[in-house]
Amino acid sequence: MSKVPPYGEAAEKKINVSQLDGIEKMFIPYEDQARLFLQFFSKAVLDRNLQEVVSKSYMADLHGIAKIFDYGNMKGQMSVEDSRSAAYGLLAMVVGLSFFRVANIPPANGEDNRFICEDYVRRFTGG
């Protein structure tokens, strides 16, 4: 599932979602991707089969994020006591912030909410 890009990237960028040759490539803006994510996520709340899809996807994401934290620890570039908990917190924050962004619920200071995840990760990197 696509997520909103990092805070520092331009919001107007798009991704190519077509692998077909010989026809015009189709692009979906990040904001529209986020809306699609929210629609799918909302349907998954009510559908057991979609819940399973979401669960498998997020479990794989959690595993991958934890491996990144473990690697950062091993290389001395991060300081994470419990990589699985840190991964869970980060993914939960990304999902929640994605929902808030699509639902137009800005942080108290009115800034772009992606800085919240960047601040969370900086805590582990000493930044």
Residue ranges covered by each domain of the chain: 14-125
Cα–Cα distance, 37 to 15 (Å, whole number): 15
pLDDT, tens digit, 9 for 90 and up, residues 74-103: 999 999 999 999 999 999 999 888 888 888
The CATH number of the structural domain formed by 14-125 is 1.10.357
Identify the pLDDT of residue 21: 58
Nearest residue to 58 via CA among 84, 37, 34, 88: 88
pLDDT above 90 (res 17): no
Question: Do residues 65 and 90 make contact, with C-beta atoms less than 8 angstroms apart?
Answer: yes
pTM for the complete prediction?
A: 0.71
pLDDT above 90 (res 65): yes
pLDDT above 90 (res 14): no
pLDDT above 80 (res 69): yes
pLDDT above 50 (res 10): no
